[in-house]
Amino acid sequence: MPEFPEMENYRRLLSEHVVNLPITGVTVNREKSINVEPEVLAGRLVGARIVFVERRGKHLVFHLNDGRRLLLHLMLGGLLFYGTEEERPGRSTQVEIAFGDKILFFIGLRLGYLHLLSVKETEAALAKLGPELLDRRMNGERFAELLKGRRGAIKSLLVNQQVFAGIGNCYADEIAFEAALLPTASVQGLSPESITRLYAAVRKVLSEASEAGGYMEMPFMAGDTLTGSYNDRCKVYDREGETCERCGGTIVKTEISSRKVFYCPECQHEH
Ligand SMILES: [Zn+2]
């Protein structure tokens, strides 16, 4: 599932490639992926331009020149591809937005969606999200403040979008590893030092993964070699049975509240 780094990577690429280009066509192959009639979406978009692309948690918000917004959530398995008709991906697409001879393909939007909203509706849709972890307003103190009174496993806390926005299964495990904390460790048992370590790990993992194009390997466009580069740098996620880089232990896989969890039982601890 795309998380903060994958969406941040898409945000950068989209800002580079589609901002200010006039939209020339809209194709909707799956009406459930959008929130208005396909003709209404096309009527609103054709001739309009995306003037700004913003990321909020795992969402992207496309700001249109008429003040409206397109809110995108890729959920499980959603992907974006940008290219010509000849480069069309060999998978079914749910929505396509054309910019002249280039097309932005939305792939795998089964649970994901692309909604046309007003500013107010967009704000309402995002209102319950917790703060951004790499925002300038975030710091160690504020992070510790957000953990106060929280219970349960670190993993469950990190993936809770109402506490922090943007972390999912992969990066929660990578962050716990980086902090040398067990993902199953309880939040209320963390010392101030462990919380400081956890916050440093959050910043390091999210910023490095964003710069490396995230872990999902399908390129965004022809010639894109950055997207997915972080996959090779994941230390525990999807690495059950592999050797831990840090201590030589063996990575194990378990479950917390029906979520997959990967960690090294040798060098990750309760606090
Ligand atoms: Zn280890």
Residues 39-97 pLDDT 10s: 999 999 999 999 999 999 999 999 999 999 999 999 988 999 999 999 999 999 999 99
Q: pLDDT tens digits for 191-207?
A: 999 999 999 999 999 99
Sign of CA pseudo-dihedral 261, 264, 270, 271: negative
Catalytic residue status for 89 = no
Query: Ligand 1 centre and the CA of 234: distance in Å?
Result: 13
Average pLDDT on 121-147 reads 96
From 92, 126, 160, give the residue that closes a domain.
126
Give the number of domains in the chain.
2
Considering the domain architecture, whether residues 86 and 150 belong to the same structural domain is answered as no
Q: What is the pLDDT of residue 50?
A: 98
Query: Ligand 1 centre and the CA of 148: distance in Å?
Result: 28
Residues of the domain holding 27? 4-126
Considering the domain architecture, whether residues 150 and 257 belong to the same structural domain is answered as yes
Q: Of all residues in the chain, what percent carry a pLDDT higher than 70?
A: 100
Q: pLDDT tens digits for 31-55?
A: 999 999 999 999 999 999 999 999 9
Catalytic residue status for 260 = no
Residue 269 in domain: no
Considering the domain architecture, whether residues 229 and 116 belong to the same structural domain is answered as no
Q: Which of 74, 63, 254, 104 is nearest to 166 (CA)?
A: 74
Q: Of all residues in the chain, what percent carry a pLDDT higher than 90?
A: 97
From 62, 97, 126, give the residue that closes a domain.
126
Residue 268 in domain: no
**57 DSSP 8-state letter:** T
Rounded Cα gap, residues 150 and 167, in angstroms: 17
Query: Ligand 1 centre and the CA of 250: distance in Å?
Result: 7
Four-CA torsion 81, 87, 19, 5, nearest 10 degrees = 30
Query: Ligand 1 centre and the CA of 245: distance in Å?
Result: 7
Catalytic residue status for 2 = yes
Residue 271 in domain: no
Considering the domain architecture, whether residues 159 and 247 belong to the same structural domain is answered as yes
Average pLDDT, the chain: 97
**87 DSSP 8-state letter:** G
* Cβ atoms 12, 219 nearer than 8 A: no
Considering the domain architecture, whether residues 256 and 149 belong to the same structural domain is answered as yes
Buried b (16+ CB within 10 A) or exposed e, 200-213: ebbbebbeebbebb
Q: What is the pLDDT of residue 257?
A: 85
Please report where in the chains the tokens 């393909």 appear, as a residue: 105
